[in-house]
Amino acid sequence: MLKGKRILLIVCGGIAAFKCLDLIRRLRERGAAVRCILTEGGSQFVTPLSLAALSEDKVYSDIFSLTDESEMGHINLSREADLLVVAPATADMLAKMAMGIAGDLATTALLATDKPVMTVPAMNVRMWEHAATQANIATLDGRGVLRVGPVEGDMACGEYGEGRMADVPEILTAVEDFFAAGSQTGSHARPLAGQRALVTSGPTREPIDPVRFIANHSSGKQGHAIAGALARLGAETTLVTGPVSLPDPPGLSVVHIETAREMLAACKSALPVDVAVCAAAVADWRVKKSAAQKMKKNGGKPLPLELTENPDILRTLSQASGNRRPKLVVGFAAETENVVENAKKKRLRKGCDWLLANDVSPAQGTFGGDSNTLHLVDASGVEAWPTMSKTAAAERLARAVADHFAASLDDGPGAAADS
Ligand code: PMT
């Protein structure tokens, strides 16, 4: 699976750095070539000699090394790889990456690279949960930096929680998924240049009265990642989003809405587009007549709320006529049982081309979580995707969209509509 792939592994200063030794061994067993950069902090935990022995290559640490610069040069070092993996990605390293700080060889290589980057965060749970780290992660996620973990468990510091570095098998799966998804042709290739994309994301809020509303747990992570991935492949992208706490992804136009009806209006004004992806968790119902003033308790009696159905945005886009129908309409199916079977029926009911089915039972943690397990349902059948980060799933979908358009060009005009 990894035969011939070149991985630049940036080993940072965390107690989990020892896992990188096994990671190198397992990557090489699968046919990958591994070259290492060891940060000053990293060298407190593993030695250059161990990394060199396992990678059977030179280990780079010094940005001002005359020899290294004349042999390779730090720009080449960062660009000759197919994938950069940062492990353990410490809070300090994530902050530097988010800010674009380039003060040593590792951070300079990360800023200079034009290749995909995957981080494997590891730190104390409080550091992970800190607003600063979460903001940095959101920035990096928004830029399409791939991420594995962190996972929950006992920590070296004696605390328990999220922040442990993912184990080697999990990292290997993420690396293999990445290459299997075909993203390695480079985040800088722009196969969707000249195409227009529309993505819906997040929840909608349907007012009950001026201070209360009906909503759901969608965080927007999946939809925002998809919008970012399509934009990075060159699509002129509009993201229509309900209220979320994520920053707007860079490089695309973002329309903020609250209700399903506002979302529909924003989507209609973004037409025509080549591809539409409806990842938003749109409220199926709204209160028929929301109260103009804050509602009072009903003297202990139940309060009747009459609900009415909201417009279906996915169906409206799928059934649009002429060039207002996107060439490719992609929906999601949020299911809690019979995921694939229900998704197949939902695809036909909604009239979309592709449907990505996910299990949203609370135990799965799909709503608000960082990973997703999807099945891609289309007219030809069902493709099961392994569990992966929402960023990786977005990259895979964007790549599939690009491949679909490339194939329909090969098949001649009009082929895209046959999907
Ligand atoms: O936001 P996250 O926390 O990252 O979580 C991601 C997600 C779980 C929200 C996402 O992966 C997902 O499943 N999105 C679809 C949620 C949903 O509303 O599914 P549904 O099965 O109820 O709807 C089917 C499709 O119709 C969806 O594409 C939905 O966007 C669309 N729809 C539904 C109702 C409506 N009135 N208009 C619509 O467009």
Tens digit of pLDDT for each residue in 168-193? 998 998 898 788 766 544 444 678 98
> Annotated catalytic sites, by residue?
157
Centre a 10 Å sphere on the Cβ of residue 13 and count the other Cβ atoms it contains.
Answer: 18
- Does 88 score more than 90 pLDDT? yes
When mean pLDDT is compared across 178-182, 254-258, 410-414, the lowest value belongs to 410-414
The alpha carbon of 108 and the centre of ligand 1 are apart by a number of angstroms equal to 40
pLDDT at site 31: 96
pLDDT at site 71: 73
Average pLDDT over residues 38-61: 97
83, 7 in Cβ contact below 8 A? yes
Model's pTM, two decimal places?
Answer: 0.70
- Does 418 score more than 50 pLDDT? no
Average pLDDT over residues 388-408: 90
CB-based pocket (< 6 A), ligand 1: 200, 218-223, 260, 278-282, 284, 310, 312-314, 331-334, 350, 358, 360, 366-368, 390
Question: How would you class 338 by CB atoms within 10 Å of its CB: exposed for 0-12, middle for 13-18, buried for 19 or more?
Answer: exposed
Average pLDDT over residues 256-267: 98
- Does 374 score more than 90 pLDDT? yes
| pLDDT bucket at 246, cuts 50 / 70 / 90 | confident
SS3 80: coil
pLDDT at site 183: 53
Kindly list the distances between the CA atom of residue 123 and the CA atoms of 87, 93, 126, in Å, as whole numbers in the listed order. Answer: 11, 11, 8
Minimum CA distance residue for ligand 1 atom 14: 279
pLDDT at site 249: 80
Average pLDDT over residues 129-139: 90
The alpha carbon of 314 and the centre of ligand 1 are apart by a number of angstroms equal to 9
When mean pLDDT is compared across 180-184, 255-259, 263-267, 409-413, the lowest value belongs to 180-184
Minimum CA distance residue for ligand 1 atom 17: 281
Task: Choose the residue to mutate in 262, 317, 332 for probing ligand 1, maximizing ligand atoms within 8 Å of C-beta.
Answer: 332
Class for domain 196-418, per CATH? alpha beta
Calculate what percentage of the chain has a pLDDT beyond 70.
Answer: 95
Pairing of strands 374-378, 371-372: unpaired
150, 125 in Cβ contact below 8 A? no
Average pLDDT over residues 35-39: 98
Average pLDDT over residues 346-368: 96
pLDDT at site 182: 62
The alpha carbon of 65 and the centre of ligand 1 are apart by a number of angstroms equal to 52
Strands (E), 27-82: 33-38, 59-60
Mean of pLDDT over the chain: 91
pLDDT at site 419: 38
Q: Which residue has the higher pLDDT, 226 or 143?
A: 226
CATH topology match: 6-185 vs 196-418: yes
Sign (positive/negative) of CA torsion 212, 214, 218, 220?
A: negative
- Does 294 score more than 90 pLDDT? yes
pLDDT at site 242: 98
Q: Per CATH, which fold does 6-185 belong to?
A: Rossmann fold (3.40.50)
SS3 338: coil
pLDDT at site 417: 45
Atom of ligand 1 nearest to the CA of 372: 11
Domain ranges of the chain: 6-185, 196-418
Average pLDDT over residues 208-231: 95
**Cα–Cα dist 9/298, whole Å:** 63
pLDDT at site 185: 43
- Does 388 score more than 90 pLDDT? no
Average pLDDT over residues 257-280: 98
The alpha carbon of 334 and the centre of ligand 1 are apart by a number of angstroms equal to 6
pLDDT at site 338: 97
Q: Which residue has the higher pLDDT, 280 or 233?
A: 280
